[in-house]
Each structure stands twice: as C-alpha cells, then as structure tokens.
Amino acid sequence: MAIELNQPALRHARALIRAGDVVEDERDDWSEAAPTADEENAFIEREGWTEYGHWHLGVDRSADRETKKAWSFPIGDFRKVHRAGVIAAESRAGQFDHTEIRDACKALLELIDAD
C-alpha cells in the first residue's frame, strides 16, 4: 500500500477554500462532522468515484479506485472543507510518515486561517 498525495483533491480543496466553502470548526469537531458510511455511499451513488476521491487527500494507486480502500485522509462533508478534517488529516499523515500529505494539510490550514 503506497498512499500518495491526491493532487486533484488538493486543487479541489484550495478552490473551495478560496470560494469560502469552508467550515472553520475546531479539531474535536471532526468526529461529528465527518460523513457517515451511509452518507459516503449516497454520495458515491449520486456523484461517482471520481468526485468521492476529490474529498480525500490520500490515494492508494495500487487499490481499485472504485473502492473506499483507495481513498484516505478525508477533509470535508461533500459540501465544504472542514478545518477540523484538515487538522485530523494532518495529524494522521504525520503519524504515518506521509510527509507530502502532512505538508499539503499545513498549507491548506494556512489558507483557511489567512482570512
């Protein structure tokens, strides 16, 4: 399993943040704000796997892209980027030595906090 930074998701997140589509919540809020499995499934059914991937900063290129296993480090609720989701992704990426993802999260947080 080789998780890499998902560049399309990073571009998507930057665009949403610049457009103001961001929830400036706190670190501990992510457990409540993160989409449930049912919400994920409904989104995939409605929008497809490519759009689902746009909400995850990590991608495992060895996994089938049409499975949840391929996607990691979620940062939003399929409507807005959540600051708490970016913080959670940054922390987890740092724990598991995914430095490129960790650094991308830091940059997203700077963009969110620049307001």
Q: What are the tens digits of pLDDT across the range 9-55? A: 999 999 999 999 999 998 889 999 999 999 999 999 999 999 999 99
Is it the case that residue 115 has pLDDT exceeding 80?
Answer: no
Is it the case that residue 1 has pLDDT exceeding 80?
Answer: no
Q: What are the tens digits of pLDDT across the range 50-71? A: 999 999 999 999 999 999 999 9
Confidence of residue 101 (pLDDT cuts 50, 70, 90): very high
The conformational region for residue 78 under phi > 0 = left, psi -120 to 50 = alpha, else beta, is: left
Please list, in sequence order, all residues whose beta carbon lies within 8 angstroms of the beta carbon of residue 66, skipping any fewer than 6 positions away.
49
d(CA 82, CA 11): 15
Q: Please tell me the predicted confidence (pLDDT) of residue 80.
A: 98
- pTM reported for the whole predicted model: 0.94
Q: What are the residue ranges spanned by the domains of the chain?
A: 3-113
